[in-house]
């Protein structure tokens, strides 16, 4: 039986129906919402995968609505797929929708197995998304570029779109002491699903350039490719063809909770995205937030909105899509290893100031009750 809540307590329900329910965006949003004062937070999150998750969540939300009606629904990624099913239960409450990925941008990325049938459907999908957004009070995007793109694509009230950074699950990705030894090979780490925006070819060519100059002084660990046969074959053939197997360790997959151990062992991490695609120009990758949260020197690509990324101060910045630029950044780290601990420390401080759970909680708090507005995570903190 539901207990009577104080009248000044805001009742918020986080609703998720996604194939990867522990996705980093979900974890960081929930951690931030836990820190918002004066709210009661409920969670409706699927346990099943595949089609059965929709049946599971319809049953959960039905039972939940019989018991109570929250003031605010926060619909997690990918709510695009389930909004029509869940909207009758959410109607009448404030709705915050975490869009996270704009379908049009996703379909236009290229080399995606779904692009062939998604692209012709874009006019219909765009109308569907406009229908969704018109029924939401706030739409969360992960970057200012995506915020601006969504405003241009959907042509609805622009104030609905708010940029909230992804952040990281700080219960998993915690700060670790930075390596101070310089006599062993420098360990460089990358992991990813090898999407086009990640720039696999750029990374491989940069690895080759570095090892041509500094073999035995740099070692690489690359994780990913298990879900992409083409990428997996490309990595294995490239390393074999160029005789790099002794200097590059490739793992097709690593469990999520084991990633912090690999990051902790690394001297430098590759955040990217290094692909020469439109999407790569618009995002700060989830792994970048994780690396910064752990205090690791991180190499990223140039983004227009990231004036707070200071090259060789709180991370390393290189030109996107250029293997030579990435290789030069790695070699700079090798030749300046004594500076890496301070860069990692400054990166962690940047994370705490702009991307941590307390900071996200500050950004989310007014959105739970007030009209949406311009997020200021990218501007100077006051």
Question: In angstroms, rounded to a whole number, what is the distance separating the alpha carbons of residues 344 and 178?
Answer: 7
Cis peptide before 144 (omega within 30 of 0): no
Q: Report pLDDT for 78.
A: 83
Taking the CA atoms of residue 108, residue 112, residue 113 and residue 116 in that order, the dihedral angle to the nearest 10 degrees is 20
CA 314 to each of CA 40, 222, 270: distance values in angstroms, whole numbers, following the listed order = 36, 23, 14
pLDDT value of position 167: 95
Residue 85, SS3 per DSSP: helix
Burial 40-67 (b: 16+ CB within 10 A, else e): ebeebbbeeeeeebbebbeebbeebeee
CA proximity to 273, closest of 194, 369, 382, 359: 194
φ, ψ for residue 295, nearest 5 deg:
75, 30
The CATH label, of 3.30.2350.10, 3.30.300.350, 3.40.50.2000, 3.40.50.720, for the domain at 186-354 is 3.40.50.2000
Burial class (CB in 10 A: 0-12, 13-18, 19+), 258: exposed
**Which tokens in the block code for residue 187?**
């360990």
> Each residue's pLDDT tens digit in the chain (382 positions)?
344 444 578 999 999 998 777 888 899 999 999 999 999 999 999 998 888 999 999 999 999 999 999 999 999 988 888 899 999 999 999 999 998 776 665 555 554 555 555 667 777 888 888 999 999 999 999 888 888 888 888 888 889 999 999 999 999 999 998 777 778 999 999 999 998 889 999 999 999 999 999 999 999 999 999 888 899 999 999 999 999 999 999 999 999 999 999 999 999 999 999 998 877 788 899 999 999 999 999 999 987 666 789 999 999 999 999 999 999 999 999 999 999 999 999 999 999 999 999 999 999 999 998 754 444 554 443 3
Handedness of CA 314, 319, 321, 327 (dihedral sign): negative
User: Domain 10-167+357-368, CATH 3.40.50.2000 — does that match?
Assistant: yes
- Domain 10-167+357-368 matches domain 186-354 at the CATH topology level: yes
Q: What is the pLDDT of residue 36?
A: 96
Most distant CA pair in the chain, distance: 69
**For the chain, which residues make up each domain, given as ranges?**
10-167+357-368, 186-354
**Any idea what the Cα angle at residue 269 is, between residues 267 and 275, rounded to 5°?**
155
Our CA dihedral for 265, 143, 273, 14, rounded to 10 degrees, sits at 50
Distance in angstroms (rounded) separating the CA atoms of residues 163 and 131: 20
């Amino acid at each position: 039986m539901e207990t009577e809540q104080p009248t000044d307590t805001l009742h918020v329900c986080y609703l998720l129906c996604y194939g990867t329910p522990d996705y980093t965006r979900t974890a960081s949003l929930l951690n931030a919402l836990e820190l918002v004062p004066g709210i009661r937070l409920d969670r409706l999150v699927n346990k099943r995968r595949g089609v059965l998750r929709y049946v599971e969540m319809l049953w959960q939300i039905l039972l939940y609505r019989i018991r109570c009606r929250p003031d605010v629904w926060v619909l997690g990624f990918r709510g695009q797929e389930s909004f029509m099913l869940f909207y009758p239960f959410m109607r009448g409450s404030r709705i915050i929708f975490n869009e996270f990925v704009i379908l049009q941008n996703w379909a236009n990325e290229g080399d995606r197995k779904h692009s062939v049938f998604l692209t012709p459907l874009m006019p219909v999908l765009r109308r569907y998304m406009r229908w969704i957004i018109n029924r939401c009070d706030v739409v969360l995007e992960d970057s200012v570029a995506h915020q601006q793109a969504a405003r241009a694509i959907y042509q609805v009230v622009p104030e609905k779109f708010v940029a909230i950074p992804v952040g990281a699950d700080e219960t998993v990705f915690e700060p670790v002491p930075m390596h101070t030894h310089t006599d062993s090979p420098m360990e460089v780490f990358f992991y990813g699903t090898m999407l086009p925006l990640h720039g696999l070819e750029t990374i491989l060519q940069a690895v080759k350039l570095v090892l041509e100059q500094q073999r035995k002084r740099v070692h690489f660990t690359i994780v990913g490719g298990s879900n992409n046969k083409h990428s997996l074959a490309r990595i294995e053939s490239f390393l074999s063809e160029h005789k790099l197997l002794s200097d590059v360790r490739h793992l097709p997959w690593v469990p999520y909770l084991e990633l912090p151990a690999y990051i902790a062992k690394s001297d430098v991490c590759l955040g990217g995205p290094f692909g020469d695609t439109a999407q790569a120009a618009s995002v700060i990758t989830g792994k970048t937030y994780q690396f910064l949260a752990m205090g690791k020197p991180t190499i990223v690509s140039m983004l227009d909105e990231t004036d707070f990324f200071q090259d060789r101060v709180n991370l390393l910045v290189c030109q996107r899509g250029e293997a030579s630029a990435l290789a030069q950044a790695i070699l700079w780290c090798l030749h300046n290893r004594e500076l890496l601990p301070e860069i990692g420390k400054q990166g962690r401080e940047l994370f705490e100031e702009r991307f941590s759970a307390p900071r996200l909680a500050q950004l989310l708090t007014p959105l739970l009750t007030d009209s949406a507005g311009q997020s200021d995570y990218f501007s100077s903190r006051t």
